[in-house]
Structure 1
Amino acid sequence: MTRPKLLNRPERRRALLAAAARAFARGGFAATSLAEVAAEAGVSRVLIYRHFDSKEQLYRTVLEQTRDDLMRATGGPDKLEPSSLTALVEFARQHPDEFQLFFRHAGREPDFRAHADWLRVAMTETTQQYLREVLADHRLRAWASELVPSVVIEAILAWIEAGFPQHDRAADTIAAVISGVIEAIGQAGRPDGS
């Protein structure tokens, strides 16, 4: 019988964070016990406590790591641009548990919402900048700027749940949906509605 490879402390911590992301992605913070995280990782709760003081610290660490990984993937909140959509979709494909945890669960949990809010704010500000030439009415631009990040995130979440269909064209499809949203809002602002 082959003994499992023992992991050094940094490797074990990374493995615990990945397992925690998978476990928490299924139900969020409140609905996921530390025992479920331990089972997902194939370790005891005692081993988790050697790395993290509490379930809350573990959850926050997973969210912080996801935030940092998202910043690296997309260029960070100050460098978002249209090509960041492709990077965001690719991140979601490679890290679906982390993406779902970050945007579906943390975004709905008051104690952890701030972790996801920074990217939504950055996406809204970026959208606002790009729409200045397309939508002259500041109220329509504000509406579109708030709507586009929500559409992007929900589209990616739905894409993950559908099993990553057309993964090589997903970013283009989402970009087309965004264009349709912006066009529809722009039409709503025309006096004749056309």
Structure 2
Amino acid sequence: MVDQKPEPVRRLPRAQRREQILTAATEAFARSGFAATSLEDIATEAGITRVILYRHFDSKTDLYQAVLDRMCARLDAHVDEPVGGFTDASIDGLLDAAIESPAGFRLLFQHALREPEFKERIEKFRADITAAAYLQISAVVPDQALARWAAQLAPVVAIEAIIAWLDAGQPDPAQAAARVRQAVMGVIGAAVASDTDCSLPNPARRQGPS
């Protein structure tokens, strides 16, 4: 019987290997944060050596930046430039991007803001979303101060609603976008509300006599 030589390890094309590393890094950074994640952790997650990782990225900061760039590119692919503001289509796009990369969505909107090296970029990104929301909301909220308040809050509500939906296991996906839009409309409704009863429901009021 002739001994068979083991098949050589297949080398991935450079672009495919880079994508593999970015996927692994996204998961690792979202799970443990920037400081607590080492390049060794990411190499292990990707199933490669650190030598291979260093062929694609010079440092952990370089890799984290590339992960953010990748998620921003995903958002650009799903969310059109807001001509009319923060619209229904914007929410649909955010949701599609979150479904495509839950870890990347959490990393961009939750974790990166806590990292000093990347905080300025994320704050600029969120400011752009707020400006887009203001275009839409200022057309329906006469009080401009309240319009600014709602414009700052509405994207936060949308993003947090999507993250909560991911955390809950993505229930009833067909209605997810409608529910996020309803939450955002709650913010806009609050901005235009007059002297109405805004108190939270009291369960005791619904109880009959004991």
TM-score by length of 1: 0.90
Partners of 2:168 and 2:10 in 1: CA distance: 35
Q: Give the equivalent residue in structure 2 for 1:96.
A: 102
Q: Give the equivalent residue in structure 2 for 1:139.
A: 145
Q: Deviations 1:47-98 (Å, cap 9, x if unpaired)?
A: 1111111111111111112112211211246675411110110110111111
Partners of 1:178 and 1:139 in 2: CA distance: 18
Q: State which of 26, 30, 35 in structure 2 corresponds to 1:25.
A: 30
Q: CA deviation at 1:113?
A: 2.1
- Structure 1 residue ranges (4+ consecutive) displaced by more than 6 angstroms after TM superposition: none
Would the aligned equivalents of 2:82 and 2:90 in 1 still touch at CA under 8 Å?
no
Q: Deviations 1:88-143 (Å, cap 9, x if unpaired)?
A: 10110111111111111112222112343344222211221111232111111111
TM-score by length of 2: 0.83
Report whether the alignment pairs 1:15 with 2:12.
no
> RMSD over aligned Cα, in angstroms?
1.9
Measured at CA, do residues 60 and 77 of structure 1 come closer, stay the same or move farther in structure 2, by a change above 3 Å? farther
Partners of 1:115 and 1:7 in 2: CA distance: 32
Q: Give the equivalent residue in structure 2 for 1:122.
A: 128
Partners of 2:167 and 2:7 in 1: CA distance: 36
Q: Give the equivalent residue in structure 2 for 1:161.
A: 167
Gaps of 5+ in 1: none
Measured at CA, do residues 29 and 118 of structure 1 come closer, stay the same or move farther in structure 2, by a change above 3 Å? same
Partners of 1:30 and 1:37 in 2: CA distance: 13
Partners of 2:13 and 2:127 in 1: CA distance: 38
Q: Give the equivalent residue in structure 1 for 2:202.
A: none
Q: Give the equivalent residue in structure 1 for 2:203.
A: none
Q: Give the equivalent residue in structure 1 for 2:117.
A: 111
Which amino acid is 2:175 matched to? R
Q: CA deviation at 1:36?
A: 1.2
Q: Residue 55 of structure 2: SS of its match in structure 1?
A: helix
Larger Rg: 2
Length, aligned pairs only: 191
